[in-house]
Structure 1
Amino acid sequence: MEKGLTINHTAATDSWRMFHIMAEFVEGFDALSGIGPAVSIFGSSRVGPDSPIYAKAEEIARLLVRNGFAVITGGGPGVMEAANKGAAEEGGRSIGLRIELSRNEVHNVYSNLTLSFRYFFVRKFMFIKYAMAYVILPGGYGTMDECFEALNLIVTQKSRTFPMIFVGRDYWEGLINWIKRVPFRTGTLGPSDTEVFKIIDEPQQVVNTIKKVVNE
């Protein structure tokens, strides 16, 4: 595992790091280029199998597979495990894009295609490149980092527009209301900047929304 960097030692390792980054991109392209239509599902690693959030993630994944989509997650526990489990048990492509962390991160056993990344930005690129939609269940900083980067890429036209669906109105509504209210008042966001995402709670409606946009 690569430790934190200091100015004094980065120059000596930059060439090695560049080739490692390139290798991660090549491995990701080779492994994921043939997966077909896919949806990335995000959410907390800290929810257990008894949580309603876990059950909802699993149900959404099952419905996605029944409708011809592969499921991509971060390969960890919690929501990621639930989504990989639902996809795998439904007989679909269940993909886990794991990240190497300094802490002892637990990975789930339900992905039938697993890739491991050292660099967050390479991993996030794979989520965006190969997903036709994002489904975002309740989560913390990692979940918000992934969804807000995608929102920014869409708004700045660095990425194609694709459905971004927040699942869990009680969890997300306060944040969404703040986005729609405060940044508009200060002029830091425009009216069209919130048109790229929706809040939907029903799993079947989530899948129907994705299918409608994909088929347009």
Structure 2
Amino acid sequence: MLETKGVSSGYKELHILFDIDFIAEKNKITAIVGPNGSGKSTLLKTIFGFTTIYEGRVLFEGQEITHLPPHEKTKLGIAYLPQTDNVFTDLTVRENLVIAGYILDESEFRDRLELALNVFPELKGKMDRKAGMLSGGERQFLGIASALIRRAKLLMLDEPTAMLSPKFASQVFERVVSLRDDLKLTIILVEQNVLKALEIADNALMLIGGKVAFFGGAKELLEHEKFERFVVGYTL
């Protein structure tokens, strides 16, 4: 579904990622884990077009998208949900969802809205509430629901459970699994809860110091003899 080949990127002169080879398989969850500052969020931003790419290529469904602007990547079916500012807080839930479907005709919008609300029924009774009045978990639900309306094929989630209660965090993980199993979405998940992320993921990428320390099966990483050293930030 998505592949990076030898990607090095950062923010203008600040070099963060170095020679990243990475594949997100279709209809699977790939967890990106690593210590703070290892470049996890930067990789998502690089894929979506928010960083400077110095070298390498980004491919989506075999098409090169390295230097496409974010709005063009959205049209291809790539959705990126940052940890914060992923909804319009001054607008209602309904208005957020309508904006997400602005390019759809009325019939398709109704179908996509029904799908999104079936996945996130918690939003049904809050359609006229300002998004800024939702709980953190409900905002995550709204952000993902908006991506579903936009016909996302690839969903990139950056720390979706950060600052959530254990109850909402558990619900977010459950929905991520259902998006893969029921809707056949491809998901890239950056997550602070390493053990839970690897538990639900099919594959895993471990970044340390902006470089690939591990790429393979999620369970393989969990069972790796150096897993604990990886997690606390040591290198190979």
TM more than 0.5: no
User: Which structure has the higher relative contact order (CA within 8 Å, separation 6+)?
Assistant: 2
The TM-score, its normalising length taken from structure 2, stands at 0.26
Instruction: From the two aligned structures, give the one with the greater helix fraction.
Output: 1
Instruction: From the two aligned structures, give the one with the greater strand fraction.
Output: 2
